[in-house]
Amino acid sequence: MKFFKRHIFGIIFALLVLSIVVNIMLCVYLKDSNLYKEYLFDKDGKFNWTVVTVVVAAISFIAAEFDKNRQFRADLVSKSRIEWIQKVREATVNVESSFQYLYITAHADPKAGTYNVELENATIKYQAALNILILYFSTDKDIDTKFNIKNELKTIPAPNNIRDFGHCEIRDQRKKVKKEADRLKKVKIDNESALSPLINPARSSNKNMNGLIINFLNSLYETAKEISFRDGNDTKYQYGKMKDDNSRLIKKYVEKLVSIIAIYLKIEWDRAKIGE
C-alpha cells in the first residue's frame, strides 16, 4: 500500500502512456479502420506527423506536471522531516541537561534521606522532558518491554563491617549477595540484547525502532526517583553506596540515549535528503 501511495503519479502516467501507445498500435494494426485513416494519414495517403507531434507534446506536458507534483510533495516531506529532526534534537538535549541537574542536585543534598523541594522539582522537570521526547516517537505496534533498567539496579547493599554480623547473618548475607549477583548478570545480558538494535550504527532503517525507543524512555522515566532520594541509614549496610552505584548506572543509560537518538536521526536525515 505504501508503494502505491508513494508512486501514484508515476503509475498513472505510465498507464496513460501505455494507453496511448496501445491505441496507436491498434490504429496501425487495423489499417482499414476509419480512425486509422482519419488521424494517422492525410487525404493523399501520406503519414500525418502532426498527430505524432501532438501526442509527444501531450506526453511531455503530462510528464512535466507529474514530475512537478512529485517534487513538490518530496520537498514538503523533506522540509517537515528536517523540522521534526531539529525538534527531536532539542528535546534530547533537554532530557540530558535536566538529568545532569537532577544528578548533581541528588548528590549535593546534605540531608540524605530527607525530603528536598529542589530535588523533587528536578525530578519532575527530568520526567517532563522524557515525556516530551516520547511524544515524538509514535507507534501502532505493541511496545517491547524486554528492556528494563529498574531490574538492573542493585537491591542488596553490601555490609559496612563484617564484624557487626553473627555467623548466621554472614552466611545468609553471602547467599543473598550471590543470588543478587546472578540475577543482575542475567538482567544485564537481557538488557544489552534488547538494546543492541538501537545502538547498532550499521543499520540502515528505523523500522520497528520507535517501540524500542519508547520503552527505553519509559524505563528511564521509571528510574528517575531512584537517584532522587538517598537512604542515609548506613549503620550496618552500605545503602548510600548502593544508591550511588544505581545512580551511575542510570547515568550511563542516559548517556546512551544521546547515541541512540543520533543514530536514529542520521537515518531520518538521509531519508529527508531524498524526499522520503
pLDDT above 90 covers a percentage of the chain that reads 34
Cβ-defined contacts of 173-181 (< 8 Å, 24+): 180/154, 180/155, 180/156
CB-CB contact of 213 with 260 (8 Å): yes
User: Does residue 39 carry a pLDDT above 70?
Assistant: no
pLDDT band, residue 21 (cuts 50/70/90): low
Comparing 119 with 263, the larger pLDDT belongs to: 263
Burial readout 243-257 (b: 16 or more C-beta within 10 A, e: otherwise): beebbebbeebbeeb
Closest CA to 255 of 229, 214, 216: 216
Comparing 268 with 52, the larger pLDDT belongs to: 268
pLDDT above 70 covers a percentage of the chain that reads 64
Comparing 49 with 109, the larger pLDDT belongs to: 49
Q: Which pLDDT belongs to residue 119?
A: 84
Specify the 3-state DSSP secondary structure of 41: strand
Give the separation between CA 271 and CA 77, rounded to whole angstroms: 10
**Bridge partners of residue 237, in order along the sequence:** 159
Q: Which pLDDT belongs to residue 74?
A: 59
**Bridge partners of residue 159, in order along the sequence:** 237
User: Does residue 152 carry a pLDDT above 80?
Assistant: yes
Residue pLDDT, tens place only, 171-227: 887 888 889 899 999 999 999 999 999 999 889 899 889 999 999 999 999 999 887
Neighbour count for residue 212 (Cβ, 10 Å): 23
User: Does residue 109 carry a pLDDT above 90?
Assistant: no
Amino acid making up residue 205: S
Give the separation between CA 268 and CA 210, rounded to whole angstroms: 12
Mean pLDDT, residues 232-258? 83
